[in-house]
Structure 1
Amino acid sequence: MAGLVRFVRARREPPLDKVERAPADAGFTLLELLVTLAIIGLIAGLAGPPVVRYLAGARSDTAQTQARNLATAVELLRLDVGRYPTEEEGLSALSSAPADMPQWRGPYIQREGALLDPWGQPYRYRAPGTSGAFDVFSYGADNKPGGEGEDKDIVDN
């Protein structure tokens, strides 16, 4: 037991004259930190805008793909029921059976969230469409007809 007590006492803190101290020049100076931050800011300023443009274009591409998928689901509903949904029934006919569709065999979409565009607005349905029997479309980021870039209307065709 006495040996254990000596061992524990010896394992405590070393004497002050044997403590290793860091050299006085260890660490970073304020100038080094400022230069590093300036370089990081420069890289972010140069790389940021292309990344933002890429992400913005990705939303439009996603909306186009989703609108086409919804249009395909509307076509499947027509095959089962024999007609397209009316504007009043809209795209909700893809997820729940309207009262006057006894042949409905859906749901034709896997989740209700598929009815929202990448900007969180519901996709719109128009029957008859401007270039066919129906249109599935989104008004884009601004949720208003017309526009350019991200605000441009996105139609299924």
Structure 2
Amino acid sequence: MKAHTRANRRRGFTLIELMVVVLIIAVLAALVVPKVQQNAETAKIGAAKSQIARLSSLLQQFRLDCDRFPTTEEGLNALVSQPSDATGWKGPYLDKVPVDPWQMDYQYLFPGTTADSFLLSTDGPDKQNGTDDDITNLDL
């Protein structure tokens, strides 16, 4: 009978051993997950900056073609479909207006900081306008 009990003990892990393994996995996850999330947020910020740079370039092309920037009301949709009074329009410059990496719309304002400039921005990770994490074409 004693030999049978020893054989059963050798076949599996004890509860203590399993708990130690689970604890080690939990500690490793607690260390790794925040780093992965931070890297993902950094990648989204980089993607937003790239999209703003690309949209800014397309807005400059619109200006070259139409001799003006889109109005605030026309917004980025002027890059997709021709505004009624945009002579010289050679678009579409985009298939569709993209959303930022946080699934929010980009904000377009004309005139921007000066009479002949525009402001293109996203509210950033916190999705709140006017905070430190906002990203604009002025930041590039």
Q: Structures share a fold, TM > 0.5? A: yes
Q: Distance in 1 between matches of 2:30 and 2:97?
A: 35
Indicate the structure (1 or 2) with the bigger Cα radius of gyration.
1
Counterpart residue number, 1:18: none
Rounded Cα–Cα distance in structure 1 between residues aligned with 2:87 and 2:29: 58
**Separation (CA, whole Å) in 1 of partners of 2:87 and 2:110:** 21
Distance 1:86 1:52, change over 3 A: same
Measured against aligned partners, the alpha-carbon deviations of 1:9-57 in whole angstroms (never above 9, x if no partner) come to xxxxxxxxxxxxxx52223222221111111011111122222222122
Q: Deviations over 1:55-98 (max 9, x none)?
A: 12221221111111100010111111111111111111011111
Q: What is aligned with 1:108? A: 93
Alpha-carbon RMSD: 1.7
| Superposed displacement of residue 113, structure 1 | 5.1
Superposed, 1:128-143 pairs within 5 Å as 128-130=111-113, 133-143=117-127
**What amino acid sits opposite 2:136 in the alignment?**
V
Aligned to 1:89: 74
Identity of aligned residues (%): 38
Which position in structure 2 is the counterpart of 1:153? 134
Give 1:16-95 correspondences, 5 Å limit.
Answer: 23-24=7-8, 25-95=10-80
Deviations 1:87-144 (A, max 9, x none): 11111101111111132111112x3252x11111110111121266111111123333
Local SS of the residue matching 2:89: coil
**Paired residue type of 2:96:** E
Large movers: runs of 4+ above 6 Å: none
Counterpart residue identity of residue 106, structure 1: G
Secondary structure in 2 aligned to 1:141?
coil
Task: Answer whether contact 2:41 2:125 (CA < 8 A) is retained.
Answer: no
- For 1:102 and 1:146, the matched residues in 2 are separated by 35
TM-score, normalised via structure 1 length: 0.75
Correspondence 1:113-124 to 2 at 5 A: 114=98, 116-124=99-107
Structure 1, unaligned runs of 5 or more: 1-22
Distance in 1 separating the partners of 2:127 and 2:85: 31
The aligned amino acid for 1:137 is S
Contact 1:128 1:134 in 2 (8 A): yes
